[in-house]
């Protein structure tokens, strides 16, 4: 006897008209809430725009270019609800529908944390949900993240971000073909100072990524999210992998510890070599190597090989338990 279709398999688009169920509010509250809980696809992905923030050491004018300063990050929502597919946007809309919907949202955010925005109510479930930081490539105001790479007059202010990121356990960064190489000293967010390194085509320097990840005191999982570019080859690659991924049953994916996350519109599926089995996904090999090299550096004794006083935020046991994974943005049209 065949097993019933999983929630993932039901994501495939169907040619059917939407019918209004006029008697929904007459159902018992428990049934209403159960329906809304099913509508909230979990775990969710939430996006934040990360921009450089200059922290001046005194009251001198901004025009004084010779003055030393520190820099940090400021996090903002992706502008406009239509552009932002973050899971929390769905939660915000759903909680206003009715009392049962609001109760379902509370259930979906049992371990409640906030994305560190200043002006938005954005509860998430920090035990399961993923926060993806959307940096602004081409903005040369980003300095260097790793303490060994920072310039004397342009230091990254690590303590400023520790309280902002407290409680966030799962963090992701985007990886796109349009991003510049990490050896581009003007437009890369995680740029590499060592121009002799072999990773010239990588978009992220693992050493710089390590410096950024040291801002998280509760880090449990690190992800890179691949966004296929809008070419036929990239779309076909993503489609082929998504078809292989969903060809496995939900139980099989669970046994293999293959993860899926959801924003308000589409799934993000885990990419692994044992699933690819010879398949080609543009940039996937590079991203997996970046994750592996960063993971190796994360379990060193000291953050800096030259200065033992530069320490990791988390102890070694916690750093060894961090999971490193690659996700593919697999829109419904690709499934």
Helix (H, G, I), strand (E, B) or coil at 134: strand
Does residue 36 sit within a domain?
Answer: no
pLDDT for the residue 111: 60
The rounded mean pLDDT for the chain is 79
pLDDT for the residue 139: 57
Tokens representing residue 269 in the block: 């599926």
Does residue 308 sit within a domain?
Answer: yes
pLDDT of residue 10 exceeding 70: no
Does residue 152 sit within a domain?
Answer: yes
Residue 107 parent element (H or E): helix 99-108
Q: What is the pTM of this model?
A: 0.82
Question: What is the DSSP code string of 60-82?
Answer: --TT-TTS-EEEEEEEEPPSSTT
Helix (H, G, I), strand (E, B) or coil at 288: helix
Q: Based on the structure, what is the number of domains in the chain?
A: 1
pLDDT of residue 65 exceeding 60: no
pLDDT band at 195 (very low <50, low <70, confident <90, very high): low
Does residue 135 sit within a domain?
Answer: yes
Does residue 330 sit within a domain?
Answer: yes
pLDDT band at 185 (very low <50, low <70, confident <90, very high): low
Per-residue pLDDT tens over the stretch 75-99: 888 876 567 888 888 887 887 888 8
Percent of the chain with pLDDT over 90: 29
Does residue 192 sit within a domain?
Answer: yes
Q: Going by C-beta distance under 8 Å and a sequence separation of 6 or more, which residues neighbour residue 313?
A: 162, 214, 215, 216, 217
pLDDT of residue 259 exceeding 90: yes
pLDDT of residue 3 exceeding 50: no
Does residue 34 sit within a domain?
Answer: no
pLDDT for the residue 153: 59
pLDDT for the residue 14: 44
pLDDT of residue 296 exceeding 80: yes
CB 180 within 8 A of CB 187: yes
Domain that holds residue 262: 43-58+66-334
Does residue 31 sit within a domain?
Answer: no
pLDDT for the residue 61: 41
pLDDT band at 39 (very low <50, low <70, confident <90, very high): confident
Helix (H, G, I), strand (E, B) or coil at 123: strand
pLDDT for the residue 2: 43
């Amino acid at each position: 006897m065949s097993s019933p279709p999983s929630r993932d398999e039901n994501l495939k688009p169907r040619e059917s008209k939407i019918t209004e169920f006029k008697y929904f509010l007459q159902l018992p509250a428990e049934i209403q809430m159960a329906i809304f809980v099913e509508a909230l696809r979990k775990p969710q992905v939430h996006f934040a725009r990360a921009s450089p923030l200059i922290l001046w050491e005194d009251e001198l004018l901004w025009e004084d270019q010779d003055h030393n300063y520190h820099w940090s990050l400021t996090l903002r929502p992706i502008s406009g609800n239509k552009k932002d597919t973050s899971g929390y946007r769905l939660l915000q809309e759903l909680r206003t529908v009715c009392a049962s919907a609001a109760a379902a949202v509370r259930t979906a955010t049992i371990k409640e944390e906030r994305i560190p925005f200043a002006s938005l109510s954005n509860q998430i479930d920090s035990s399961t949900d993923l926060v993806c930081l959307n940096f602004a490539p081409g903005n040369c105001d980003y300095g260097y993240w790793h303490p060994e790479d920072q310039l004397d007059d342009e230091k990254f202010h690590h303590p400023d971000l520790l309280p902002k990121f407290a409680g966030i356990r799962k963090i992701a960064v985007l990886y796109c073909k349009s991003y510049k190489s990490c050896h581009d000293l003007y437009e890369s967010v995680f740029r590499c100072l060592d121009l002799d390194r072999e990773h010239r085509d990588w978009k992220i320097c693992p050493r710089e990524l390590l410096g950024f990840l040291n801002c998280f005191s509760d880090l449990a999982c690190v992800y890179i999210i691949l966004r296929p570019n809008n070419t036929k080859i990239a779309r076909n690659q993503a489609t082929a992998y998504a078809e292989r991924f969903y060809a496995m049953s939900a139980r099989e994916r669970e046994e293999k510890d293959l993860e899926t996350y959801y924003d308000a519109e589409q799934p993000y599926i885990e990419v692994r070599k044992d699933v690819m089995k010879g398949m080609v996904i543009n940039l996937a090999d590079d991203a997996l190597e970046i994750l592996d090299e960063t993971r190796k550096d994360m379990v060193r004794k000291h953050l800096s090989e030259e200065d033992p006083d530069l320490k990791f935020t988390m102890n070694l046991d916690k750093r060894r338990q961090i999971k490193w994974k690659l996700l593919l943005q697999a829109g419904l049209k690709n499934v």
